[in-house]
Amino acid sequence: MERELKCLLLDDELPGLTYLKMLCEQIPGLSVVKSFNDPSRFLEEFPSLEFDFCIIDIEMPQFNGLQIANLLQGKPVIFFHCL
């Protein structure tokens, strides 16, 4: 049996986050640990969560995805941008 991959999601826009979560939940072997629409909240909580990678919006008002990725202690990141 293959190990399930665990991811965190971060997008400041709730409709995009909802759609992204729905897409991820349809991928066998992938589990969404938690989704965030507030970068500050994400930064508070991610150290205590068990995950393999993050999917992060590249453009957000408070922080951009690159700034947040630099704080993730080497975890893989997938960047996206919804129009």
Q: Could you read off the pLDDT of 1-49 as tens digits, one per residue?
A: 578 999 999 999 999 999 999 999 999 999 999 999 999 999 999 999 9
Side-chain half-sphere exposure of 37, counting CA atoms within 13 A: 9
Instruction: Map residue 52 onto helix, strand or coil.
Output: coil
| Verdict on whether the full-model pTM lies above 0.85 | yes
Q: What is the structure's pLDDT at 1?
A: 57
Q: Exposed e or buried b for every residue in 42-71, given b needs 16+ CB within 10 A?
A: bbeebeeeebeebbbbeebeebebeebbee
pLDDT at 83 over 70: no
Structure-model confidence comparison of residues 25 and 63, the more confident one: 25
In this prediction, residue 70 carries a pLDDT of 94
Centroid of chain to Cα 47: 13
